[in-house]
Amino acid sequence: MNIIIYPPTIDWTFMKQRPQQLMKQFAEMGNIVYYCNQSQQRIPIQQLAPNLFLVHDYEHFKKESLPLLRREHKVPLGVWCSWPKLAKELAHLKADWIIYDCVDEFASLLKYEKDLVEISSAIVCTAHRIYTRLANTYPEKQLALIPNAYDEGMKVHPMHSANVPDTTRPQVGYVGAWAPWVNNRLIAKLARSLPDCDIVIIGVEFDRKFSMHHIENIRFLGHLPHEKLKEHLSTFDVCIIPFKLTPVTLATNPVKMYEYLATGKPVVSTGLPECILHQNLIDIAHSVNEFIQKVKYRLRNPGDSQTRIDFALANTWRHRANQAMKLIELL
Question: What is the DSSP annotation of 48-79?
Answer: EETTEEEES-HHHIIIIIHHHHHHHH-S-EEE
d(CA 82, CA 104): 9
Which pTM does this prediction carry? 0.92
Fold of 152-313: Rossmann fold (3.40.50)
Domains 3-149+316-330 and 152-313 share a fold: yes
Q: Which CATH number fits domain 3-149+316-330: 3.40.50.2300, 3.90.1150.10, 3.40.50.2000, 3.40.190.170?
A: 3.40.50.2000
* Residue spans per domain, the chain: 3-149+316-330, 152-313
Please count the other Cβ atoms lying within 10 Å of the Cβ belonging to residue 154.
19
Max Cα separation, the chain? 65
pLDDT in tens, the chain (331 residues): 999 999 999 889 877 789 999 999 999 999 999 999 999 899 999 999 999 999 999 999 999 999 999 999 899 999 999 999 999 999 889 999 999 999 999 888 899 999 999 999 999 999 999 999 999 999 999 999 999 999 998 888 876 544 454 557 999 999 999 999 999 999 999 999 999 999 999 999 988 899 999 999 999 999 888 778 888 899 999 999 999 999 999 999 999 999 999 999 999 999 999 999 999 999 999 999 999 999 999 999 999 999 999 999 999 999 999 999 999 999 8
